[in-house]
Amino acid sequence: MKIFKNIISIILAFLLMLSILLTVALQIVSSTILNKDYIFGKLDEANYYNNVYEQIKDSLAGYIGPSGLDEEVLENIYTREQVKEDINLIINNIYENKDDKINTEDIKEKLQNNIEASVGSGLLTKENKKSIEDFIDKIADEYVQNISHDPYFEKLGIIMNKAKDIVGKVDGIIIFVPIILAVVILLLNIKQISSAIRFISISILTSGLIGIVIKLFIEAKINISNILIINDSFSEVIKNVINSILNNINTMSIIGIIGSIVIIVLTNIIKVNRQTIE
């Protein structure tokens, strides 16, 4: 009977370990990648807003060469604050499944004024006016493209919302699975609570070890520092997010390993002491 009880306890401990891993993974995903505020923090940390501002400046300068216009016409047509607001709008679209558009009317108006001040509107031919309109539209499109990165961010939004749906559905339920399994192990070993605690600790220890294995495996197989997606500034954010997730896994795993080893040793001390007394 005792052997049968131990086998059942081991199986339950194994299932408990799997459920702990799943719960922790879901918690990490929902508190990082699927958390809008976390991403805003990471964008700030990676200096993303300023990098995009500089990147827009470079992109727009490429249109000056063939335009016959002075580079000064691009001065003060947008601000760092505006870039930050527009990036936040796009991030909101991704996370809230919205389709708010970046308003470029202000940029167009300022650019139009700068061009008129530079070349003088009275001297322009009809053809010139048309090509200036096209130029203004191109500049506005380039500004939007540098911030929205369509179609990539659009696809990202679809994936994010699917992931949020799935996590939202299981998140409330999955948290109870390890609790239920731990209670069952405790009930099965009600006469020897120290054994039950040992089994639960073994599950936590195993989860911690697997966490470390996952972290080492990812670091060994993927050259995170060389990731390049869309552009340098966006890649920096991705690298920061991955490293931060790996650090979270590492910290939680180490806490789990140390805590569970301490509990295992303590329960074994209690067990041996009890056997000595008996």
Partner 1 sequence: MPKVIKIFKATIIDLIVAFLFVIATLVLVKIVFGQSIDTAIMLMNTVAIDTKKDVHVDTVLEDSSLKNYPEYGTKYATIEIPKINVKQDVYFGSSLEILKKGVGHDSGSYFPGEGGSIIYMGHNSKNVFRRFSELQKGDEIIVDTTYGTFKYRIYDMQLVNETEKDKLPIQKDKEILMVYTCYPFNNIGYATQRYVVYAELVEE
The answer to whether 209 contacts partner 1 (rule: CB under 8 A) is yes
DSSP label at residue 70: -
CB contact at 8 A, 245 and 28: yes
Exposure class string for 161-176: b at 16+ Cβ within 10 A, else e: eeebeebeeebeebee
Which structure tokens are listed for 227?
């990731």
213 touching partner 1, by CB under 8 A: yes
Of 58 and 278, CB closest to partner 1: 58
What is the maximum span of the chain, computed from C-alpha positions, in angstroms? Answer: 107
For the chain, state the CA radius of gyration.
29
Of the candidate spans 37-45, 99-107, 182-190, 195-203, the one that interacts with partner 1 by CB under 8 A turns out to be 195-203
Should residue 241 be labelled a site residue for partner 1 when binding is judged by CB under 8 A?
A: no
Smallest distance from the beta carbon of 34 to partner 1, in angstroms?
18
Q: Does 205 bind partner 1 (CB under 8 A)?
A: yes
- 191, 221, 277, 278: residue in contact with partner 1 (rule CB under 8 A): 221
Task: Considering only the stretches 43-51, 135-143, 175-183, 245-253, report the one whose residues sit in contact with partner 1 under the rule CB under 8 A.
Answer: 135-143
Taking the complex as a whole, the smallest distance from the CB of residue 111 to partner 1 amounts, in Å, to 11
Residue 66: cis peptide before it, omega within 30 degrees of 0: no
d(CA 99, CA 114): 31
Residue whose CB is less far from partner 1, 72 or 133: 133
Instruction: Using the minimum distance from each CB to partner 1, give the nearer residue, 84 or 211.
Output: 211
- Specify whether the CB–CB gap between 104 and 17 falls below 8 A: no
Q: Is 202 in the site for partner 1 (CB under 8 A)?
A: yes
Of the candidate residues 128, 231, 243, 251, the single one contacting partner 1 (CB under 8 A): 128
Helical segments of 103-228, H only: 105-119, 126-148, 152-174, 176-188, 193-221
CB 188 within 8 A of CB 229: no
Closest CA to 17 of 202, 167, 267, 213: 202
264 binds partner 1 (CB under 8 A): yes
Q: How many residues bind partner 1 (CB under 8 A)?
A: 57
- Positions in the binding site for partner 1 (CB under 8 A): 10, 13-14, 17-18, 21, 58-59, 61-63, 65-69, 115, 119, 124, 127-128, 130-138, 198, 201-203, 205-206, 209-210, 213, 221-224, 226-229, 261, 264-265, 268-269, 271-273, 275-276
